[in-house]
Amino acid sequence: MYKAPVEEIAFTLKHVAGLAQAIDDGLLGDLGEDLVDAILHEAGRFASDEIAPLAEIGDRQGARISDGKVTTPDGWRDLYRNWIAGGWNGLTASEDFGGQALPHMLNVAALEMWNSGSMAFALCPTLTMGAIEAISAHGSDALKQTYLPKLVSGEWTGTMNLTEPHAGSDLGVLKARAERRDDGSYRIFGQKIFITWGEHDAADNIIHLVLARLPDAPSGTRGISLFLVPKFLVNEDGSLGARNDLFCHALEHKLGIHGSPTCTMIYGDGRFGAEKGAIGWLVGEENKGLACMFTMMNNARLAVGMQGVAIAEAATQKAVAYARERTQGKAPGWAGAGMSPIIEHPDVIRMLLTMKALTQGARAIAYSCAHATDMAHRAGDDKKHWQERAALLTPVAKSFATDIGVDVASLGIQVHGGMGFIEETGAARYLRDARIAPIYEGTNGIQAIDLVTRKLPLSDGGEVKSMIAELQEIADRVGASNAENFGATANRLNAAITDLEEATDWFLSQLAAGNVADALSGATPYQRLFGLTLTGCYLANGALADTDDGKAADRIALCRFAAENLLAETTALRDTVVNGAASLAAARSILA
Ligand SMILES: Cc1cc2nc3c(=O)[nH]c(=O)nc-3n(C[C@H](O)[C@H](O)[C@H](O)COP(=O)(O)OP(=O)(O)OC[C@H]3O[C@@H](n4cnc5c(N)ncnc54)[C@H](O)[C@@H]3O)c2cc1C
């Protein structure tokens, strides 16, 4: 069973991602390390003792639908109520609406733990947090006063309604429509698919954020508006009123995250109410809906990245525990009686260390991204730098973490042998759950395009260059430290950084020359190259940290393992980026 790695999480937050420095510099108000530790321990306890035990039933039973009513798996309703009673939903929300205004770094760490406990369960608050953010940033005062207190407490949950059958990655073609009403509200019509936690029985009201088009809107992405559409209308005194004209038509049958209801939502077909059309209120300005959604998308993408880290952590724990117990054959040097535990076999050790290194690397990337977001919110002079740093790291955090989530979960099955393929062990669930994360919240292919075409050019390439310079400083510090324990780490880091730098320069020159097709051909390998290089450097940063927790030798050993076993891939990736486009174009006719 999953046990939250609270010490590892706290270490990464404080000593790799920059939380301790931010606290020392007085950038996070009253927050001190003691409070951080207390919050992490309590979140870890809840995730390990209360969420994780209900993950399996959630997977087996799944969410169920009958006559438009969706029932969550046994025990989940109470679990959700207990979770919101702990105040977890409002960690980062404004104190004006009952939140705790804590840094994103803490919320991201807590999200990791909720998702390790059960990703399907954690999706519910993840979507609510996104809705809170969008309403906080763009909603009118009236919308904020009416909806934020109950969303922040978690009594009501939130959703994001973007996708339609013909509009997924390209939202410009969405068809849901909105009509103006005389009182300033709108009526919404249309169908949305794949809406996470779109209907359920865990909360009293569900607040849908819906993208739709006004009759006189320009075509494409410039003609999309964002509306707040509650399941139940809210009376002036805050009590719940009539049912709005929307319902869940069906639930999807999915590969994983069975406990999370994935809903087809119908707006405005006249099932509820005297007049057709679900009543909604504009969030932000007309035709600026996509921009409003993008405000929250950075954090939502990071939250999905946390799902990758979370699954990787849980899968690694399960694999290590199994490998300690399962005995087969005799490992080289095994002196015990009978067969050795499989954890003694070098190939199994390789798998487990790969899982650990990728998990910790992805965690460090994601927490660093959250740190940049916090700094962007609070710092003064260097606000632009931190905004750009968060923007640069977000696609890498989302894509690298979710890709390694799948890889690590798959390795976890391999460590279990045949038992990994059998549902009973639970290793298979991690792979099934992990598989959606590279797809939703912008596929990882779309993240790569975002990274290459929008994020690398920030400040004319200045932001990515300053990040690479920081990575070089870490490599230099490794080189200047005890070289014996670090083995070839410094050399491997130097090589990876050079690969990243060369590939980055290549992109910047291709984009400057308007050679977009070639640039897009190499975007995904570049994204992995970026993630792997960050992994090596962040593991090294942790290994160099001056702490007395007795784990320094382990950190150096894991860092060295990653540098000498995983980072060799960066050279091949650089070569693919720089030289792969022509052959890709030439082979295209094969697919005709
Ligand atoms: C379980 C689940 C939960 C979801 N939850 C929600 C939710 O709560 N709210 C919501 O609105 N949506 C939700 N979605 C939808 C999800 O966000 C979309 O599935 C996702 O954005 C991809 O869109 P698509 O499925 O239409 O794939 P497509 O856009 O058709 O993409 C198919 C493939 O083509 C590639 N591709 C597409 N366009 C480009 C391009 N321009 N350049 C390069 N490659 C491209 C993609 O990367 C992908 O590999 C959910 C989906 C699932 C399965």
Residue 213 lies in a domain: no
CA-derived radius of gyration, the chain: 24
What digits encode the pLDDT tens for the residues 80-101? 999 999 999 999 999 999 999 9
In the reported structure, the alpha carbon of residue 439 is separated from the centroid of ligand 1 by a whole-number distance in angstroms of 6
Residue 557 lies in a domain: yes
Whether 264 is in the pocket of ligand 1, judged by its Cβ within 6 Å, is no
In the reported structure, the alpha carbon of residue 72 is separated from the centroid of ligand 1 by a whole-number distance in angstroms of 25
441, 470, 473, 569: which one is catalytic? Answer: 441
Q: Are 461 and 383 in contact (CB under 8 A)?
A: no
Residue 388 lies in a domain: no
In the reported structure, the alpha carbon of residue 442 is separated from the centroid of ligand 1 by a whole-number distance in angstroms of 6
Q: Whose CA is nearest to atom 4 of ligand 1?
A: 194
Q: Tell which atom from ligand 1 comes closest to the C-alpha of 446.
A: 47
Residue 546 lies in a domain: yes
- Number of domains into which the chain is organized: 1
Domain that holds residue 544: 443-585
Instruction: Determine the Cα–Cα distance for residues 47 and 405; give it in Å rounded to an integer.
Output: 19
Select from 393, 462, 470 the least CA-distant residue to 104.
Answer: 393
Residue 483 lies in a domain: yes
Residue 484 lies in a domain: yes
Select from 528, 384, 401 the least CA-distant residue to 463.
Answer: 384
pLDDT one digit per residue (tens) for the chain, 592 residues: 999 999 999 999 999 999 999 999 999 988 999 999 999 999 999 999 999 999 999 999 999 999 999 999 999 999 999 999 999 999 999 999 999 999 999 999 999 999 999 999 999 999 999 999 999 999 999 999 999 999 999 999 999 999 999 999 999 999 999 999 999 999 999 999 999 999 999 999 999 999 999 999 999 999 999 999 999 999 999 999 999 999 999 999 999 999 999 999 999 999 997 789 999 999 999 999 999 988 778 789 999 999 999 999 999 999 999 999 999 999 999 999 999 999 999 999 999 999 999 999 999 999 999 999 999 987 678 999 999 999 999 999 999 999 999 999 999 999 999 999 999 999 999 999 999 999 999 999 999 999 999 999 999 999 999 999 999 999 999 999 976 799 999 999 999 999 999 999 999 999 999 999 989 999 999 999 999 999 999 999 999 998 889 999 999 999 999 999 999 999 999 999 999 999 999 999 999 9
Q: Quick one: the chain helix, strand, coil %, rounded to 5?
A: 60, 10, 25
Q: What is the DSSP string of 382-420?
A: THHHHHHHHHHHHHHHHHHHHHHHHHHHHHHHHHHTHHH
Q: So what's the pLDDT on residue 548?
A: 86
Residue 505 lies in a domain: yes
Catalytic annotation present for 441:
yes
Whether 349 is in the pocket of ligand 1, judged by its Cβ within 6 Å, is no
Select from 543, 510, 295, 312 the least CA-distant residue to 430.
Answer: 312
Residue 416 lies in a domain: no
